Amino acid sequence: MPQGLALKQHLPIHFVEIDAPRIGTCLREGEGKTKMSCDLEAKQPDFSVVPPPSAHTAEHQQHVERTANGRRFDNEAKKHKYWKSSAVKKMRIASVEHFCCYHYTLESFTELRSTIDATEAYSMGQLMESHGLGTSADTARPCGSGIGDSISPWDYEVLPNEDFVDQNKVLELPGTSKLSACSACNSEGVIHCFHCRGYGTDKCTYCRGTGMKAGVAHPAVYTHPMIATFPHSDIARGYPGSGTAIVRPTGTGGLSYGVGTPIHFMAKAGLPPPGIGHHDLCIFCQGRGIRDCYQCKGQCKKPCTTCGGNGSVRTYTKLRVYFSVEHTDYYTETEIPEKLLRGVTGQIIFTECQPYVLPVTKFPIKEVNENSKRLCALHLQKSMGYCRVLKQRHILEAIPVAKVTYEMDNRHGVFWVYGAERLCFVPSYPSKCAIL
Protein backbone atom coordinates (compact mmCIF):
# COMPACT_ATOMS: atom_id res chain seq x y z
CA MET A 1 0.00 0.00 0.00
CA PRO A 2 2.31 2.75 -1.10
CA GLN A 3 -0.48 5.32 -1.21
CA GLY A 4 -1.71 4.43 2.24
CA LEU A 5 1.80 4.68 3.66
CA ALA A 6 2.30 8.08 2.06
CA LEU A 7 -0.98 9.29 3.49
CA LYS A 8 -0.02 8.13 6.96
CA GLN A 9 3.17 10.12 6.80
CA HIS A 10 1.49 13.41 5.95
CA LEU A 11 -1.76 13.29 7.90
CA PRO A 12 -2.08 12.63 11.66
CA ILE A 13 -4.77 9.96 11.21
CA HIS A 14 -4.63 6.45 12.73
CA PHE A 15 -5.55 3.77 10.26
CA VAL A 16 -6.86 0.32 11.25
CA GLU A 17 -6.47 -2.69 9.00
CA ILE A 18 -9.95 -4.24 8.71
CA ASP A 19 -10.74 -7.15 6.42
CA ALA A 20 -13.97 -8.90 5.46
CA PRO A 21 -13.59 -11.96 7.81
CA ARG A 22 -13.12 -9.59 10.72
CA ILE A 23 -16.42 -7.84 9.90
CA GLY A 24 -18.24 -11.16 9.78
CA THR A 25 -16.77 -12.18 13.13
CA CYS A 26 -18.02 -8.95 14.68
CA LEU A 27 -21.51 -9.62 13.48
CA ARG A 28 -21.55 -13.26 14.64
CA GLU A 29 -19.88 -12.92 18.01
CA GLY A 30 -21.63 -9.69 19.01
CA GLU A 31 -18.69 -7.86 20.58
CA GLY A 32 -20.80 -4.85 21.51
CA LYS A 33 -20.64 -3.32 18.08
CA THR A 34 -23.59 -2.87 15.79
CA LYS A 35 -23.56 -3.56 12.13
CA MET A 36 -23.48 0.19 11.35
CA SER A 37 -20.38 0.76 13.46
CA CYS A 38 -18.59 -2.07 11.76
CA ASP A 39 -19.49 -0.66 8.36
CA LEU A 40 -18.13 2.80 9.37
CA GLU A 41 -14.87 1.25 10.47
CA ALA A 42 -14.68 -0.72 7.27
CA LYS A 43 -15.16 2.34 5.01
CA GLN A 44 -12.01 4.44 4.90
CA PRO A 45 -12.50 8.19 4.06
CA ASP A 46 -11.29 9.11 0.61
CA PHE A 47 -9.13 12.22 1.37
CA SER A 48 -7.69 14.24 -1.49
CA VAL A 49 -4.10 15.25 -0.95
CA VAL A 50 -3.49 19.01 -1.14
CA PRO A 51 0.11 19.85 -2.05
CA PRO A 52 1.82 22.50 0.08
CA PRO A 53 2.49 25.91 -1.48
CA SER A 54 5.68 26.22 -3.39
CA ALA A 55 8.45 28.49 -2.27
CA HIS A 56 8.04 30.94 -5.17
CA THR A 57 4.31 31.68 -4.56
CA ALA A 58 4.90 34.65 -2.23
CA GLU A 59 7.51 36.06 -4.57
CA HIS A 60 5.11 35.64 -7.49
CA GLN A 61 2.31 37.51 -5.66
CA GLN A 62 4.70 40.30 -4.78
CA HIS A 63 5.81 40.47 -8.41
CA VAL A 64 2.20 40.67 -9.60
CA GLU A 65 1.47 43.44 -7.08
CA ARG A 66 4.47 45.46 -8.15
CA THR A 67 3.53 45.00 -11.80
CA ALA A 68 0.00 46.26 -11.07
CA ASN A 69 1.39 49.33 -9.29
CA GLY A 70 3.59 49.99 -12.30
CA ARG A 71 0.57 49.87 -14.60
CA ARG A 72 -1.29 52.33 -12.38
CA PHE A 73 1.72 54.65 -12.49
CA ASP A 74 1.73 54.36 -16.29
CA ASN A 75 -1.98 55.22 -16.47
CA GLU A 76 -1.38 58.29 -14.30
CA ALA A 77 1.45 59.43 -16.57
CA LYS A 78 -0.79 59.23 -19.64
CA LYS A 79 -3.25 61.67 -18.04
CA HIS A 80 -0.64 64.47 -18.01
CA LYS A 81 0.37 66.22 -21.20
CA TYR A 82 4.03 66.88 -20.46
CA TRP A 83 4.88 63.64 -18.66
CA LYS A 84 6.92 61.02 -20.46
CA SER A 85 5.26 57.64 -20.18
CA SER A 86 8.47 56.02 -21.41
CA ALA A 87 10.02 56.70 -18.01
CA VAL A 88 7.82 54.00 -16.52
CA LYS A 89 9.67 51.34 -18.52
CA LYS A 90 12.95 52.34 -16.88
CA MET A 91 11.45 52.25 -13.42
CA ARG A 92 12.05 49.45 -10.94
CA ILE A 93 9.76 48.97 -7.95
CA ALA A 94 11.93 48.71 -4.84
CA SER A 95 9.36 48.26 -2.07
CA VAL A 96 5.64 48.50 -1.36
CA GLU A 97 4.35 49.52 2.06
CA HIS A 98 0.66 49.06 2.88
CA PHE A 99 -1.31 50.99 5.50
CA CYS A 100 -4.74 52.58 5.99
CA CYS A 101 -6.00 56.13 6.18
CA TYR A 102 -9.05 56.34 8.45
CA HIS A 103 -11.85 58.63 7.36
CA TYR A 104 -14.33 59.69 10.05
CA THR A 105 -17.52 61.46 8.96
CA LEU A 106 -20.11 63.10 11.20
CA GLU A 107 -23.41 64.34 9.77
CA SER A 108 -26.11 66.21 11.67
CA PHE A 109 -29.56 66.61 10.11
CA THR A 110 -30.90 69.88 11.53
CA GLU A 111 -34.14 71.84 11.27
CA LEU A 112 -34.28 75.64 11.28
CA ARG A 113 -37.54 77.62 11.42
CA SER A 114 -38.15 81.31 10.73
CA THR A 115 -41.25 83.48 10.25
CA ILE A 116 -42.16 86.59 8.28
CA ASP A 117 -45.36 88.62 7.86
CA ALA A 118 -46.91 88.44 4.39
CA THR A 119 -49.96 89.86 2.60
CA GLU A 120 -51.90 88.68 -0.41
CA ALA A 121 -55.03 89.62 -2.31
CA TYR A 122 -58.19 88.29 -0.77
CA SER A 123 -60.07 86.46 -3.50
CA MET A 124 -63.31 84.55 -3.43
CA GLY A 125 -61.50 81.23 -3.42
CA GLN A 126 -59.58 82.18 -0.29
CA LEU A 127 -62.83 83.32 1.31
CA MET A 128 -64.34 79.88 0.71
CA GLU A 129 -61.22 78.21 2.02
CA SER A 130 -61.24 80.26 5.22
CA HIS A 131 -64.83 79.15 5.88
CA GLY A 132 -63.93 75.49 5.50
CA LEU A 133 -65.21 75.10 1.94
CA GLY A 134 -61.78 74.29 0.62
CA THR A 135 -58.61 72.55 1.69
CA SER A 136 -55.09 73.87 1.87
CA ALA A 137 -52.06 71.69 1.22
CA ASP A 138 -49.45 74.25 2.30
CA THR A 139 -50.35 74.54 5.97
CA ALA A 140 -48.61 73.01 8.94
CA ARG A 141 -50.24 70.35 11.08
CA PRO A 142 -50.38 70.97 14.84
CA CYS A 143 -48.63 68.45 17.07
CA GLY A 144 -51.25 68.69 19.84
CA SER A 145 -54.64 70.20 20.47
CA GLY A 146 -53.28 73.72 20.74
CA ILE A 147 -56.24 74.92 22.81
CA GLY A 148 -55.32 77.85 25.03
CA ASP A 149 -51.71 77.88 23.81
CA SER A 150 -49.97 80.77 22.12
CA ILE A 151 -48.97 80.35 18.49
CA SER A 152 -45.39 79.16 18.16
CA PRO A 153 -43.60 77.99 14.99
CA TRP A 154 -42.36 74.89 16.84
CA ASP A 155 -45.87 73.77 17.86
CA TYR A 156 -46.56 72.37 14.40
CA GLU A 157 -45.21 69.22 12.85
CA VAL A 158 -43.40 69.54 9.53
CA LEU A 159 -41.77 66.36 8.24
CA PRO A 160 -38.92 66.29 5.71
CA ASN A 161 -39.30 64.44 2.44
CA GLU A 162 -35.99 62.62 2.91
CA ASP A 163 -33.45 62.40 5.69
CA PHE A 164 -29.96 63.92 5.35
CA VAL A 165 -30.92 65.97 2.28
CA ASP A 166 -31.08 69.79 2.16
CA GLN A 167 -34.70 70.91 1.81
CA ASN A 168 -36.60 74.18 2.07
CA LYS A 169 -40.34 74.40 2.80
CA VAL A 170 -42.42 77.59 2.97
CA LEU A 171 -45.97 77.31 4.27
CA GLU A 172 -48.61 79.27 6.14
CA LEU A 173 -48.62 79.23 9.91
CA PRO A 174 -52.16 78.28 10.96
CA GLY A 175 -54.11 80.70 13.14
CA THR A 176 -52.33 83.85 11.92
CA SER A 177 -54.62 84.85 9.02
CA LYS A 178 -56.76 87.99 9.30
CA LEU A 179 -58.59 90.33 6.92
CA SER A 180 -57.64 94.02 6.72
CA ALA A 181 -58.13 97.01 4.43
CA CYS A 182 -55.59 97.58 1.69
CA SER A 183 -53.35 100.48 2.62
CA ALA A 184 -52.00 100.94 -0.90
CA CYS A 185 -55.33 101.97 -2.46
CA ASN A 186 -57.32 102.88 0.68
CA SER A 187 -59.77 100.07 -0.08
CA GLU A 188 -60.65 101.60 -3.48
CA GLY A 189 -59.18 98.77 -5.53
CA VAL A 190 -57.45 101.14 -8.01
CA ILE A 191 -54.31 103.25 -7.82
CA HIS A 192 -52.91 106.22 -9.73
CA CYS A 193 -51.12 105.33 -12.97
CA PHE A 194 -47.62 106.70 -12.59
CA HIS A 195 -46.66 105.86 -16.15
CA CYS A 196 -48.94 108.48 -17.69
CA ARG A 197 -49.25 110.58 -14.51
CA GLY A 198 -52.95 109.95 -14.45
CA TYR A 199 -53.63 111.48 -17.91
CA GLY A 200 -54.28 108.20 -19.67
CA THR A 201 -52.18 109.05 -22.75
CA ASP A 202 -48.68 108.31 -23.96
CA LYS A 203 -46.59 108.97 -27.07
CA CYS A 204 -47.51 106.92 -30.11
CA THR A 205 -44.69 104.51 -30.71
CA TYR A 206 -45.64 103.87 -34.34
CA CYS A 207 -45.26 107.44 -35.64
CA ARG A 208 -42.83 108.50 -32.88
CA GLY A 209 -45.19 111.29 -31.81
CA THR A 210 -45.26 113.07 -35.20
CA GLY A 211 -48.77 112.00 -36.23
CA MET A 212 -47.51 111.04 -39.70
CA LYS A 213 -47.53 107.52 -41.11
CA ALA A 214 -43.95 107.92 -42.29
CA GLY A 215 -42.78 108.72 -38.75
CA VAL A 216 -41.26 112.04 -39.87
CA ALA A 217 -42.73 115.47 -39.05
CA HIS A 218 -44.11 117.28 -42.11
CA PRO A 219 -42.51 120.69 -42.86
CA ALA A 220 -45.89 122.20 -43.68
CA VAL A 221 -46.86 121.68 -40.06
CA TYR A 222 -43.91 122.74 -37.93
CA THR A 223 -42.85 125.61 -40.26
CA HIS A 224 -46.27 127.26 -40.31
CA PRO A 225 -46.28 130.63 -38.46
CA MET A 226 -49.21 129.59 -36.29
CA ILE A 227 -47.43 126.41 -35.17
CA ALA A 228 -43.68 126.99 -35.43
CA THR A 229 -43.06 124.07 -33.11
CA PHE A 230 -41.33 120.80 -33.85
CA PRO A 231 -43.05 117.73 -32.40
CA HIS A 232 -42.05 116.75 -28.86
CA SER A 233 -39.61 119.67 -28.54
CA ASP A 234 -41.27 121.45 -25.64
CA ILE A 235 -40.75 119.04 -22.77
CA ALA A 236 -42.15 121.54 -20.24
CA ARG A 237 -45.64 121.08 -21.67
CA GLY A 238 -45.50 117.31 -21.46
CA TYR A 239 -43.97 115.07 -18.80
CA PRO A 240 -40.59 113.39 -18.50
CA GLY A 241 -40.38 110.00 -20.15
CA SER A 242 -43.09 110.64 -22.73
CA GLY A 243 -40.89 112.45 -25.23
CA THR A 244 -43.90 114.42 -26.50
CA ALA A 245 -45.30 117.84 -25.55
CA ILE A 246 -49.02 117.28 -25.15
CA VAL A 247 -51.84 119.81 -25.35
CA ARG A 248 -54.90 118.92 -23.29
CA PRO A 249 -57.93 121.08 -24.11
CA THR A 250 -59.81 122.39 -21.11
CA GLY A 251 -63.18 122.00 -22.75
CA THR A 252 -65.20 118.87 -22.37
CA GLY A 253 -65.01 116.38 -25.17
CA GLY A 254 -61.69 117.67 -26.49
CA LEU A 255 -59.05 115.05 -27.22
CA SER A 256 -55.45 115.58 -26.26
CA TYR A 257 -52.89 115.87 -29.04
CA GLY A 258 -49.18 116.29 -29.44
CA VAL A 259 -47.46 119.55 -30.31
CA GLY A 260 -46.42 119.87 -33.97
CA THR A 261 -48.84 117.23 -35.21
CA PRO A 262 -51.49 117.60 -37.96
CA ILE A 263 -54.24 117.71 -35.33
CA HIS A 264 -52.38 120.60 -33.64
CA PHE A 265 -52.37 122.43 -36.98
CA MET A 266 -56.09 121.85 -37.46
CA ALA A 267 -56.82 123.08 -33.92
CA LYS A 268 -54.92 126.31 -34.58
CA ALA A 269 -55.73 127.04 -38.23
CA GLY A 270 -59.13 125.41 -38.45
CA LEU A 271 -58.25 123.57 -41.68
CA PRO A 272 -56.07 120.61 -42.62
CA PRO A 273 -52.39 121.17 -43.34
CA PRO A 274 -51.66 121.91 -47.00
CA GLY A 275 -50.41 118.95 -49.00
CA ILE A 276 -51.40 116.36 -46.39
CA GLY A 277 -54.25 113.95 -46.91
CA HIS A 278 -56.02 111.61 -44.58
CA HIS A 279 -53.97 108.70 -45.92
CA ASP A 280 -50.77 110.40 -44.68
CA LEU A 281 -51.84 110.34 -41.05
CA CYS A 282 -50.81 107.64 -38.60
CA ILE A 283 -53.31 104.80 -38.66
CA PHE A 284 -52.98 104.25 -34.89
CA CYS A 285 -53.26 107.77 -33.46
CA GLN A 286 -55.03 109.43 -36.44
CA GLY A 287 -52.55 112.32 -36.50
CA ARG A 288 -52.69 113.08 -32.75
CA GLY A 289 -49.18 111.80 -31.99
CA ILE A 290 -50.36 110.20 -28.75
CA ARG A 291 -52.20 107.02 -27.84
CA ASP A 292 -53.90 105.58 -24.80
CA CYS A 293 -51.51 104.55 -22.04
CA TYR A 294 -50.82 100.84 -22.28
CA GLN A 295 -50.53 100.58 -18.50
CA CYS A 296 -53.97 101.88 -17.55
CA LYS A 297 -55.62 101.51 -21.00
CA GLY A 298 -56.51 105.22 -20.99
CA GLN A 299 -58.41 105.01 -17.67
CA CYS A 300 -55.85 107.12 -15.77
CA LYS A 301 -55.95 104.50 -13.00
CA LYS A 302 -55.10 100.84 -12.86
CA PRO A 303 -56.04 97.99 -10.52
CA CYS A 304 -54.16 97.84 -7.26
CA THR A 305 -51.42 95.24 -7.41
CA THR A 306 -51.48 94.68 -3.65
CA CYS A 307 -55.11 93.69 -3.24
CA GLY A 308 -55.80 92.70 -6.85
CA GLY A 309 -58.59 95.27 -7.14
CA ASN A 310 -60.59 93.82 -4.23
CA GLY A 311 -59.82 96.60 -1.75
CA SER A 312 -58.91 94.19 1.05
CA VAL A 313 -55.91 92.01 1.79
CA ARG A 314 -55.24 89.00 3.94
CA THR A 315 -52.27 89.21 6.27
CA TYR A 316 -50.72 86.05 7.66
CA THR A 317 -47.42 84.66 8.87
CA LYS A 318 -45.21 82.59 6.59
CA LEU A 319 -43.29 79.75 8.16
CA ARG A 320 -40.02 78.78 6.53
CA VAL A 321 -38.63 75.38 7.50
CA TYR A 322 -35.09 74.69 6.32
CA PHE A 323 -33.67 71.20 6.68
CA SER A 324 -29.91 71.19 6.33
CA VAL A 325 -27.05 68.74 6.74
CA GLU A 326 -23.99 69.69 8.77
CA HIS A 327 -21.17 67.57 7.32
CA THR A 328 -17.68 67.33 8.80
CA ASP A 329 -14.83 65.02 7.76
CA TYR A 330 -11.63 64.00 9.45
CA TYR A 331 -8.74 62.07 7.87
CA THR A 332 -5.86 60.59 9.76
CA GLU A 333 -2.48 62.01 8.90
CA THR A 334 -1.13 60.92 5.54
CA GLU A 335 1.01 62.40 2.79
CA ILE A 336 -1.83 62.30 0.27
CA PRO A 337 -3.75 65.62 0.02
CA GLU A 338 -7.17 65.58 1.62
CA LYS A 339 -8.87 66.84 -1.54
CA LEU A 340 -7.75 63.67 -3.34
CA LEU A 341 -8.97 61.41 -0.55
CA ARG A 342 -12.47 62.88 -0.84
CA GLY A 343 -12.84 61.35 -4.29
CA VAL A 344 -12.19 57.73 -3.30
CA THR A 345 -13.92 55.13 -1.18
CA GLY A 346 -12.76 52.45 1.20
CA GLN A 347 -14.06 49.76 3.49
CA ILE A 348 -16.69 50.89 5.99
CA ILE A 349 -15.72 49.73 9.47
CA PHE A 350 -18.89 50.83 11.20
CA THR A 351 -21.81 53.22 10.80
CA GLU A 352 -24.43 54.41 13.27
CA CYS A 353 -27.53 56.61 13.01
CA GLN A 354 -29.26 57.89 16.15
CA PRO A 355 -31.08 61.04 17.32
CA TYR A 356 -27.81 61.86 19.10
CA VAL A 357 -24.73 59.72 18.49
CA LEU A 358 -22.06 59.15 21.12
CA PRO A 359 -18.40 59.74 20.25
CA VAL A 360 -16.17 56.83 19.32
CA THR A 361 -14.11 55.91 22.39
CA LYS A 362 -12.77 52.36 21.95
CA PHE A 363 -11.14 52.51 18.55
CA PRO A 364 -7.44 51.53 18.58
CA ILE A 365 -6.40 54.77 16.87
CA LYS A 366 -6.30 57.51 19.50
CA GLU A 367 -6.64 60.36 17.00
CA VAL A 368 -9.96 58.98 15.74
CA ASN A 369 -11.40 58.89 19.26
CA GLU A 370 -10.26 62.42 20.06
CA ASN A 371 -11.59 63.95 16.84
CA SER A 372 -14.87 62.06 17.14
CA LYS A 373 -15.39 63.62 20.55
CA ARG A 374 -14.40 67.05 19.25
CA LEU A 375 -16.74 66.94 16.23
CA CYS A 376 -19.72 65.72 18.26
CA ALA A 377 -19.28 68.62 20.69
CA LEU A 378 -18.80 71.07 17.81
CA HIS A 379 -22.04 70.05 16.07
CA LEU A 380 -24.05 70.36 19.27
CA GLN A 381 -22.50 73.75 20.00
CA LYS A 382 -23.44 75.07 16.54
CA SER A 383 -27.05 73.96 16.80
CA MET A 384 -27.64 75.07 20.39
CA GLY A 385 -30.18 77.91 20.46
CA TYR A 386 -30.23 78.17 16.67
CA CYS A 387 -31.71 75.00 15.21
CA ARG A 388 -32.86 71.55 16.26
CA VAL A 389 -30.95 68.34 15.60
CA LEU A 390 -33.25 65.67 14.17
CA LYS A 391 -30.74 62.90 13.52
CA GLN A 392 -27.04 62.26 13.58
CA ARG A 393 -24.92 59.63 11.94
CA HIS A 394 -21.21 58.94 11.85
CA ILE A 395 -19.23 56.63 9.60
CA LEU A 396 -15.72 55.28 10.01
CA GLU A 397 -14.08 54.18 6.79
CA ALA A 398 -10.67 52.63 6.13
CA ILE A 399 -9.08 53.81 2.88
CA PRO A 400 -6.29 51.48 1.68
CA VAL A 401 -3.04 53.26 0.86
CA ALA A 402 0.12 51.78 -0.64
CA LYS A 403 3.42 53.66 -0.54
CA VAL A 404 5.52 52.53 -3.50
CA THR A 405 9.25 53.26 -3.63
CA TYR A 406 10.89 53.05 -7.06
CA GLU A 407 14.38 53.43 -8.52
CA MET A 408 15.30 54.90 -11.90
CA ASP A 409 18.67 56.09 -13.18
CA ASN A 410 20.28 55.99 -9.73
CA ARG A 411 17.46 58.09 -8.35
CA HIS A 412 14.81 57.17 -5.82
CA GLY A 413 11.21 58.30 -5.79
CA VAL A 414 7.89 57.63 -4.11
CA PHE A 415 4.28 57.53 -5.29
CA TRP A 416 1.07 56.43 -3.59
CA VAL A 417 -1.78 54.18 -4.70
CA TYR A 418 -4.90 54.87 -2.66
CA GLY A 419 -8.59 54.04 -2.42
CA ALA A 420 -10.69 51.15 -3.62
CA GLU A 421 -10.48 52.74 -7.09
CA ARG A 422 -6.68 52.32 -7.01
CA LEU A 423 -5.89 55.91 -7.95
CA CYS A 424 -2.31 57.08 -8.15
CA PHE A 425 -0.76 60.18 -6.57
CA VAL A 426 2.69 61.23 -7.79
CA PRO A 427 4.09 64.24 -5.89
CA SER A 428 7.08 64.66 -8.23
CA TYR A 429 7.22 62.88 -11.56
CA PRO A 430 10.70 61.65 -12.49
CA SER A 431 10.70 63.01 -16.06
CA LYS A 432 8.91 66.06 -17.44
CA CYS A 433 9.10 68.31 -20.46
CA ALA A 434 12.48 70.00 -20.89
CA ILE A 435 10.84 73.43 -21.17
CA LEU A 436 9.33 73.06 -17.70
Q: Is 75 part of any domain? A: no
pLDDT in tens, the chain (436 residues): 444 444 334 434 344 444 444 434 443 444 444 444 444 444 455 555 545 544 444 343 444 355 565 566 566 555 554 556 666 667 778 888 999 999 999 999 999 999 999 988 876 566 666 655 444 445 566 665 444 456 789 998 999 999 999 999 999 998 888 888 898 999 898 999 988 888 888 888 888 888 888 888 777 777 777 776 666 544 444 444 445 577 777 754 678 888 878 888 888 888 888 878 888 899 998 888 888 888 898 888 999 988 888 888 888 899 999 999 999 999 999 999 999 999 999 999 999 999 999 999 999 999 999 999 999 999 999 999 899 999 999 999 999 999 988 887 778 888 888 998 888 888 876 555 544 4
- Asked if 295 and 193 count as a contact pair (C-beta separation under 8 A), the reply is yes
The reported pLDDT for the residue numbered 1 is: 44
User: Which amino acid appears at position 116 of this protein?
Assistant: I
Q: Is 296 part of any domain? A: yes
Q: Is 65 part of any domain? A: no
Q: Is 220 part of any domain? A: yes
Q: Is 293 part of any domain? A: yes
Boundary residue ending a domain (251, 283, 302):
302
Q: Residue 29's domain spans which residues?
A: 15-50
User: Which amino acid appears at position 1 of this protein?
Assistant: M
User: Which amino acid appears at position 241 of this protein?
Assistant: G
pTM metric for this prediction: 0.60
Ramachandran region, residue 13 (left: φ > 0; alpha: ψ -120 to 50; beta: rest): beta
**Per the structure, how many domains does the chain have?**
2
The reported pLDDT for the residue numbered 144 is: 52
Q: Is 116 part of any domain? A: no
Boundary residue ending a domain (286, 302, 318):
302
Q: Is 259 part of any domain? A: yes
Q: Is 219 part of any domain? A: yes
